[in-house]
Chains A and B, each alone.
Chain A
Amino acid sequence: MDLQTQTTETFDENARRALVDPQLRSALRKLTVTFGERRAQAIGSVDDWEGLRERARAIKDETLSHLDKYLADFADKAERAGAQIHWADDGKDVCELIIRLLQERNAKQVVKSKSMATEEIHLNAALEAAGITPVETDLGEWIIQLAHETPSHIVVPAIHKSKKQIADLFVEKLGIEPTDDVDRLTSAARRILRQRFAEADAGISGVNFGVAETGSILILENEGNIRLTTGLPKIHIALMGIEKVIPRFADLDVFLKLLPRSGTGQRLTAYQSIITGTKKSPGDEGPEEVHIILMDNGRSRMLAHPVTRQSLACIRCGACLNACPVYQQIGGHAYGSVYPGPIGAVITPQLIGIKKAAQLPYASSLCGACREVCPVKIDIPELLLHLRAQIAEGTAITTEAPPRKALESFAFRMYAFAWSRPWLYELGGRVLRVLQRPAVRDGRIGKAGKLMSKLMPPLGAWTAWRDARPLAPRSFREMWRADNQQRG
């Protein structure tokens, strides 16, 4: 399957292709079952999970409603501690800035730890074009870099690949002896990447949380590659989306309980690094320079409405991907974006423009499983409906709105008109019950239903994948009235 051709605009086609890929389906089954079970077990070790989620959301809401203040505080404190702060409006600015920083220091070899923000702006391609070699060091990211693919999950990026495929890739690209042993594959990665760490001129990382109170950044991981990336080379560059800031150091406690449990089902990941500025004394270990880039890239416009603003509360745990019945079937690549799944379906259209990703808000049955598992209680179904409404009404927040769905908009206006007038609602029901009679067979709408949808093509979009159910012989209101009369 050629991943390069899968974009947000070809979602329907991508999804259809994913559905007939048995290896992908089995990998997804394993992922969603395993992570689902581990998460359930891990949240059992906290006695007030709901309270914790409420608190996390309250902290995020507080931050986002005063984002200007907290970002200014963060930048000020980080600079006082010796870090250099850069502000970047979009991905192009970030790439240019990083390339300039590296070229000024004659840095050619760069080690990278996993960062969805750098994936979002396609930093690796920009670095390569400038003659700089970026090496991904997270095992999953390195695998997909070797395979020239893109992540299919925000926590386990190579989850779509089987052990066999990875072994074949290592044999081909690294010349290792064929093996089907995960430990051997892992130690081959350790051996080769250690050389890359030893010779790296700079390290590039992401950020999980930035603390306004102290100017610290916190990054979580399991492998140790982030500690190496941020600790060994002379320069450390951290890319941080502006939504990553939180007010107080003590707030980290809440997020350190929520994120590992939601992401990988761990009580705590193996390592957390809290980095505050540069050397405090000559003997202090670590890079000579620390640069933190604060990136907007479409985020600040989400602040302009409370519904869209909650998109910025996301802590990138991936729990909504694992819980989503759509993601479970089609995986990450079908979404055509670095952010897949339910959260991807709401942030991708907001980041790249709703015109380019108009199919994504419809990639959901609105079942609400994502909202149930979200550690910061983002109401993703509400966001999906908000975006769908914008598409139907032609009032998208971006300047590039897709063509308005006039028919859908008209149909829902009629629906709203009828439902807000009880007499009309009841009359409509009676008329439909008479009209459906010739089509009902054994309690279902049979072949005649298909004929109806042929006569009214828009209905076919619904009935192509679902049974059309007939209305009950008597409405609830009729039964209620009859019952009341009997009791008299």
Chain B
Amino acid sequence: MLARIREHLAASAPFDRVHQASLAMHEVGQTSREVEPSTSRGLIDLFRESLEAVNGNCTIVADEAEAAASLKQVIELNNLQRVAVSDSPIVGRLMQRTDSTAEVLSNAEPEALFNCDGGITSAQWGIAETGTLVLETKSERHRLVSLVPAMHIAILAGDRIFGTMSEALAAVSTAGELSRTVTFITGPSRTSDIELTLAIGVHGPARLHVIVIEDVKQTV
């Protein structure tokens, strides 16, 4: 196939010269940043605003103690009976401090996940301009916990929120080996396939709640 591609490209060479000569080539414009770099606090607020605009929920808390309380509240308010947790250390710590009545499954097999109504993971990065979570599988086993249960609760450190997608792409591709799967999540699962009417929660989680911890370092 590569030989055929080369042959066709070679056949095009004379046309290309004519084509290029007749084209006033435009200067390739540089895209400017959508969001000016700003303070961590500004990025957290923008993250929440963007996430809420796509039907996600967001709670901003100061430290892990507040995060544990918030997590308990989210589990209870959403009446979750059985939650699966990823192997993230911070999720483990928070669950220890969360005396909720829900049954908790660690290392759940895919079949078991289908019977969970909540999945709790952390996220490696956030993107403020779109309210996006970035999940890297080299850091955590969260590919299915964040996807199969009807509700996804994610823990995100405030100092890991970037302004833009471009910064997040650089972060996942430069810090060591690229994960097997990098997943970007922006709000709950959605579809407009029936008469363009928005329906939330078709295959993935119908609810997404992100708890942003402003200062993780203080509590570690």
Partners in one complex: yes
Interface residues of A (CB under 8 A from B): 27, 30-31, 34-35, 45-48, 50-52, 54-55, 58, 65, 67-68, 71-72, 87, 89, 137-140, 143, 156-159, 162-163, 166, 182-183, 185-187, 189-190, 193-194, 198, 214, 216, 222-225, 227-228, 231-232, 242, 249-250, 252-254, 256-257, 264, 267-280, 283-286, 294, 296, 300-307, 309
Q: Which of B16, B165, B191, B196 contacts A30 (CB 8 A)?
A: B196
A280 and B30 in contact, given A257-B165, A305-B12 (Cβ under 8 angstroms): no
Question: Counting chain B CB atoms within 10 Å of each CB, which of A65, A276, A286, A302 scores highest?
Answer: A276
Chain B residues with CB below 8 A from A45, complex form: 34
A173, B184: Cα distance in complex, Å: 35
| B122 beta carbon closer than 8 Å to chain A | no
A186, B199: Cβ atoms closer than 8 Å: yes
Contact A272 B5 (CB under 8 A): no
Q: For residue A137, which residues in chain B have a CB less than 8 angstroms away from its CB?
A: 203
Let me know if A264 and B192 touch, CB within 8 A. Answer: yes
**Central interface residue in A89, A137, A272, A307, by most chain B CB within 10 Å:** A272
Q: Which B residues between 44 and 66 are near A, CB-CB below 8 angstroms?
A: 54
Q: Mark B171-202, 1 if CB is under 8 A from A, else 0.
A: 01100011111111111111111111101011
Closest residue on chain B to residue A186 by CB atoms: B199
Interface residues of B (CB under 8 A from A): 1-2, 4-6, 8-9, 11-12, 15-16, 19-20, 26-32, 34, 54, 110-111, 114, 129-130, 132, 137-138, 141, 143-144, 147-148, 165-166, 169-170, 172-173, 177-197, 199, 201-205
Partner of B186, one of A162, A231, A268, A309: A268
Identify A286's interface contact among B148, B181, B187, CB under 8 A: B181
Task: Kindly list chain A residues whose C-beta atoms are within 8 Å of the C-beta of B186.
Answer: 268-271
Q: A228-B203, A274-B178, A302-B8 given. 4 additional CB < 8 A pairs?
A: A47-B34, A270-B204, A274-B183, A280-B180
Partner of A250, one of B114, B166, B192: B166
| B194 x A163 contact (CB < 8 A) | yes
Q: Which of B114, B178, B189 contacts A222 (CB 8 A)?
A: B189
Which listed residue, A46, A54, A58, A138, touches B193 by the CB 8 Å rule?
A138
Q: Is the beta-carbon distance between A303 and B9 smaller than 8 angstroms?
A: yes
Residue from B15, B180, B205 whose CB has the most chain A CB atoms within 10 Å: B180
Point out the residue from B147, B173, B180 that lies within 8 Å of A227, measured CB to CB: B147
Separation of A309 and B15 alpha carbons in the complex (Å): 11
Once the chains bind, are A227 and B194 in contact (CB under 8 Å)?
no
Q: Is A273 touching B181 in the complex (CB atoms < 8 A)? A: yes
Main secondary structure on chain A at its contact with chain B?
Answer: helix
A200 to chain B, nearest CB (A): 11
Within 8 Å CB of B130, what residues of A?
A: 267-268
Cα of A303 to Cα of B4 in the assembled complex, Å = 10
Sampled A-B contacts (18; CB under 8 Å): A54-B26, A87-B1, A138-B193, A139-B191, A143-B193, A156-B192, A156-B196, A189-B202, A227-B147, A250-B166, A268-B132, A270-B189, A273-B184, A275-B180, A276-B181, A286-B137, A301-B8, A306-B15
How far, in angstroms, from A302 to B204 measured CA to CA in the complex?
A: 38
Indicate if the CB atoms of A223 and B203 lie closer than 8 Å. Answer: yes
Nearest Cβ on chain B to A197's Cβ, whole angstroms? 8
**Min CB gap A432→B, angstroms:** 32
CA of A305 to CA of B10 in the docked complex: distance in angstroms? 10
Q: Once the chains bind, are B19 and A224 in contact (CB under 8 Å)?
A: no
The answer to whether A300 touches B31 (Cβ under 8 A) is no
A166 to B193, CA, bound (A): 11
| B204 engages A224 (CB within 8 Å) | yes
Contact A277 B197 (CB under 8 A): no
Q: Point out the residues of chain A lying under 8 angstroms from B181, CB to CB.
A: 231, 273-276, 285-286
Give the residue of A224, A250, A253, A304 whose beta carbon is less than 8 angstroms from that of B11.
Answer: A304
Whether B141 contacts A224 by the Cβ 8 Å rule is no
Give the nearest-CB partner of B168 in chain A.
A253
Chain A positions within 8 Å of B191 at CB level: 139-140, 186, 222-223
Inter-chain contacts of B4 with A (CB < 8 A): 296, 300
Q: Is there an interface contact between A307 and B183, defined as CB atoms closer than 8 Å?
A: no
**A residues within 8 A CB of B204?**
223-224, 227-228, 270-271
* Residues of chain A lying within 8 A (CB to CB) of residue B165: 253, 256-257, 268
- Bound-state CA distance A35–B195 (Å) is 12
Q: Is B28 touching A54 in the complex (CB atoms < 8 A)?
A: yes
Partner of B29, one of A55, A257, A270: A55
For B26, list chain A residues within 8 Å (CB). 54
With known contacts A143-B193, A306-B12, A193–B203 Cβ distance under 8 A: yes
Is A276's CB under 8 angstroms from B16's CB? no
Which residues of A have CB within 8 Å of B6? 68
Q: In the complex, what residues of B have CB within 8 A of residue A303's CB?
A: 5, 8-9, 12
> Which 7 A-B pairs have CB atoms at the shortest separation, nearest pair first?
A224-B204, A51-B29, A140-B193, A224-B203, A303-B8, A186-B199, A306-B19
In angstroms, Cα B130 to Cα A45, docked, is 11
